[in-house]
Amino acid sequence: MKAYLSRRYHFSASHRLNSEAYDAAQNYAVFGKCNNPHGHGHNYTVQVTLSGQVDPTTGMVCNLGDLDAFALTNLIERFDHTNLNTLDCFQNEVSTTENLSIEIHRIFQSFTAAHLERVHIEETSNNSFDYAGDTVPASRTI
């Protein structure tokens, strides 16, 4: 019997959308105010959805304490109150929330107590992003 578990986490981070492939005018044309040289920030909400068999003893897909400890160490402590552009994972990638969702998916794939189904990120009340692990470019490394 497969069941699904979704858990939400929150962190605040700043970033600047800027591509090395573009000059200053092109960056502003593509990214607008999100290309502000001083950056801007968001209060992100990340929802991870996991699946697995319901353990007959605990009645759970996975232990929430284990999941929360994993998220604290690998998500919150890594991203909260940071400038995303300074992180290794964005040295060769634009720090869009699409790319952030791919990175967070990669991180949660190493949580082995349940199968990762998808990552959902709310950047603003109008913008949300989903990544279910379809494909990760070969160039993406940590």
| Pairing status of strand 2-15 against strand 82-83 | parallel
Distance between CA atoms of 69 and 31, rounded to whole angstroms? 35
Report in angstroms the alpha-carbon separations of 46 from 15, 26, 58, 100, 129. 16, 30, 26, 10, 10
Which residue numbers are catalytic?
A: 34, 81, 123
Contacts of 10 (CB under 8 A, 6+ apart): 43, 44, 45, 46
Please say whether the beta carbons of 32 and 18 come within 8 A.
no
Q: Which pLDDT tens digit goes with each residue over 42-66?
A: 999 999 999 999 999 999 999 999 9
- Residue 1: pLDDT band (50, 70, 90) is confident
Q: Which pLDDT tens digit goes with each residue over 86-120?
A: 999 999 999 999 999 999 999 999 999 999 999 99
Report in angstroms the alpha-carbon separations of 44 from 11, 52, 129. 5, 26, 11
- Assigned token pair, 74: 């690998």
Q: Which pLDDT tens digit goes with each residue over 7-42?
A: 999 999 999 999 999 999 999 999 999 999 999 999
Distance between CA atoms of 51 and 49, rounded to whole angstroms? 7
User: Where do the domains of the chain lie, and which CATH numbers do they carry?
Assistant: 2-131 (3.30.479.10)
pLDDT of residue 142: 42
Taking the whole predicted model, whether its pTM rises above 0.75 is answered as yes
